[in-house]
Amino acid sequence: MNEPRRTDPARDAGTYPASARIAMVGNPNVGKTSLFNRLCGVRAKTANFPGSTVEARVGTCRADGREFEFVDLPGVYAIDLELPESKLCRDCLAGRLEGCMPDALLVVLDATNLARGLRLFRSIAALGRPLIVALTMTDLARKRGLSVDAQRLAVVLGVPCVEANGRSGTGIDPLLGAIAAAREATPQLLAACLAPSWIDETVTAIVGGPNTIGTDSDRLTDRLDAAFTHPILGGMLFVLAMALVFFAIFRLAEVPMTLIEDGCAWLGSTVAALLPEGALSSLVVDGIIGGVAGTIVFLPQICLLFFLLALLEDTGYLARAAFVMDRIMCRFGLPGQAFVPLLSSHACALPGIMSTRLIPDPKDRLATILVAPFMSCSARVGVYVLLVTILFPNSGFFAGLAFAGCYALGAIAALVTAAIFRKTILRGHSRPMVLELPPYRLPNVRGALLSTYDRAVVFLKNAGTVILSICVVMWWLSAYPKSEMPEAAIVLEARAVEVEALDADEADALRTEASVLTARQQQEYSFAGRLGSALQPAFAPLGLDERLTVAVMTSFLAREVFRSTMTVLVGQGDSDDDTKVADELARATRPDGTKLFDPATSAGLLVFYVLALQCLPTLAVTARETGSWKWAALQFGWMSGVAYLLAFAAREAVLFFGVS
């Protein structure tokens, strides 16, 4: 068995080693993360420790020629609770994380709620590790008329104690200086703090007694709480806040998303021009650049979402909003905090799943992750437009109704699935809906930017590793084996050469036709195409022929591929005009002369695309956030199964009512 690494011998020699690991522990909302951000800035990263569903942040800081590694542990009310964050703290403090024992523990105490902090301190002191105390919120405590005496607290606790403020940066240097003086709690203190009156006596000695003084700020807080948590007014304010957030996301992300798309297109064409035509060029341009571009295009939306959510959370509003939505969400076994991730999934499931970290209960969080991809994301819109236009070519009203119905169907499927999962595989006790409501304050923009940077790095790492690998595999499946150019295409090319001198436009049209025939043959001949052909019997009950099956199979990479695949397979060139493409697909026929997109098949296909999980990056992010591919597989299997059954039911219903 591996013993945790201890660096105590260096301490025993009277000095810290060149690099010391300091674990930061404290109650939630005491300003611990602000302090960590001030200490480490961008030299920090999120660490997912094996076996843990919660995360800590690790960062470094240099001071006086020494390097400190800080571990920002999640806020806990006690370290002995059976909660994931308490377990992570226990493991870290006992040296079970990466086998590395912290050299010292920095306990962050809130001067406005010293009693609760001292309860946590008491259990941490009993671990016998060197301690330093950072006393935060002292400005707020003084505003409330409390006297704050950090020196006295240092004497009472017998360990260094420094007033520090992560937002303003005051007290950071003295805090770093105090780390070298960290020491273990004395046996006398450990004995004294077991007395029932120790906490009350200490609070009285340090801040002049329990905080009973009301302030103007309390009255304002009362009024704001009454408005923000009111079932009707609070609900309306929440809808307004979310509408503003999502308007900002869609509006502000538009320009950087276009820049990323254009940049990737430029990169692809430049690389294609530099590399000789062949397998390597296709791999780099179509597989790597094309695949990763399809994922990182969402980076601006992700950054904006996390930045705005961090600002909202910092104001203290999100904790109140959670109660408003809890009344609705709890009927489906989800907590109020699940609303924001589900709403975010309408933009893209990736940021939606990543934002489930707002949910404290692991089962609630898992249930939300599993159902988030049901919400109709922006990538589905293209397919909805195409199929709805085919279904209702002359009725804008019914087309609009069907479009809205797609969104409603996705949301209903998500909520019903959540209720089923919470009563079956995720059955069990949920954390009670008790939340600390942090004080209202102006958001910390620096902290929000650091948090956004952290999320962006995590997303890009995922895009550059797992998602890149998946893209390369999918490229290979659709590009190999290579087919010969079909004879008809060779004839068309030859005719194009003949007529080029007389009619350049005619020559271009012939070449386009030839390339469509070649692409169609390649689609059918590739592994993905063959898989589609092999699976066609399974999709026959949905009315899909081989071409539609291939289109459905290839769109498991990303659902927006459906449109381009169908235009190739049906024999039309791709176009930006949705109506033109829909017209051409609506005219396509099967070998027996019947319509390929008859109403029953189109309705079934629409339901399938609303409910199926056809987005490999989403599966990769689910696996990462849940820590297991098992949950990603369940998500994929469940959503595909539900999509298949309901698509079948929709097709049969249309056939039953004889709609043609």
Partner 1 sequence: MPDQPTLPDPIRLPLTQLKRGDRAMVADASISAEDRAILRAMGLDETCQFTVCRVGSGGPCIIQVDATRLGLSPEFARRIMTRPCECPDATHCAVTAPESLPSGPSATDRA
**3-class SS at 571?**
coil
**What is the C-alpha R_g of the chain?**
30
Closest CB 229 distance from partner 1, rounded Å: 4
Q: Is 429 in the site for partner 1 (CB under 8 A)?
A: yes
Question: How far apart are CB 109 and partner 1 at their closest, in Å?
Answer: 13
Give the residue among 23, 26, 206 at the shortest CA–CA distance from 120: 26
* Dist. CA 309–CA 301, nearest whole Å: 12
Q: Among candidates 527, 528, 489, which has minimal Cα distance to 511? A: 489
Residue 105, strand partner residues? 23, 131
Residue 508 identity: D
The smaller minimum CB distance to partner 1, of residues 51 and 439, is found at 439
11 vs 122 by CB, closer to partner 1: 122
20 is a site residue for partner 1 (CB under 8 A): no
User: In whole angstroms, how far apart are CA 629 and each of 619, 620, 623?
Assistant: 8, 8, 5
Window contacting partner 1 (CB under 8 A); options: 58-66, 260-268, 303-311, 426-434: 426-434
Q: Is 141 in the site for partner 1 (CB under 8 A)?
A: yes
Does position 315 interact with partner 1 (CB under 8 A)? The reply is no
Q: Taking a C-beta distance cutoff of 8 angstroms, is the pair 99, 2 a contact?
A: yes
Helix, coil or strand: residue 511: helix
Q: Interface with partner 1 includes 446 (CB under 8 A)?
A: no
Q: What is the arrangement of strands in the sheet containing 19-26, beginning at the earlier edge strand?
A: 44-47, 56-63, 66-72, 19-26, 104-110, 131-136, 161-163
Site string for partner 1, 320-349 (x = CB under 8 A): x--xx-xx--x-------------------
Is residue 32 near partner 1 by the rule CB under 8 A?
no
Contact positions with partner 1 (CB under 8 A) in 180-219: 196-197, 200, 210-212, 218
Please tell me whether the peptide bond between 393 and the residue prior to it is cis, using omega within 30 degrees of 0: no
Residue type, 304: L
Given 192, 425, 433, 470, the residue binding partner 1 (CB under 8 A): 433
Residue with smaller CB distance to partner 1, 229 or 368: 229
Among 38, 144, 365, 563, binds partner 1 (CB under 8 A): 144
**Rounded distance, CA 155 to CA 136, Å?**
17
- What is the smallest separation between the CB atom of 210 and partner 1, expressed in angstroms? 4
From the CB of 172, what's the least distance to partner 1, in Å?
A: 24
Rounded-to-10 torsion of CA 651, 653, 657, 660? -10
Least gap, CB of 396 to partner 1 (angstroms): 40
Nearer to partner 1, 364 or 454 (CB): 364
3-state secondary structure of 106: strand
Asked if 428 touches partner 1 (CB under 8 A), the answer is no
Residue 363 within binding range of partner 1, rule CB under 8 A: no
- Of residues 231 through 270, those in contact with partner 1 by CB under 8 A are 231, 234
Question: Rule CB under 8 A: is residue 424 a binding residue for partner 1?
Answer: no
User: Cβ closer to partner 1: 115 or 479?
Assistant: 115
The residue from 431, 495, 511, 595 that contacts partner 1 (CB under 8 A) is 431
Q: First-to-last CA distance in the chain? A: 71
Q: CB–CB of 229/435 below 8 Å? A: no
Residue 237 near residue 228, CB atoms below 8 Å: yes
What residues numbered 48-77 form the site for partner 1, per CB under 8 A?
Answer: 76-77
Site residues for partner 1, 74-133, by CB under 8 A, read 76-78, 80-83, 112-113, 115-116, 119
Instruction: Give every CB contact of residue 374 below 8 A, 6+ residues apart in sequence.
Output: 410, 411, 413, 414, 417, 611, 639
Residues that bind partner 1 (CB under 8 A): 76-78, 80-83, 112-113, 115-116, 119, 140-141, 144, 196-197, 200, 210-212, 218, 221-222, 225-226, 229-231, 234, 319-320, 323-324, 326-327, 330, 429, 431-437, 439
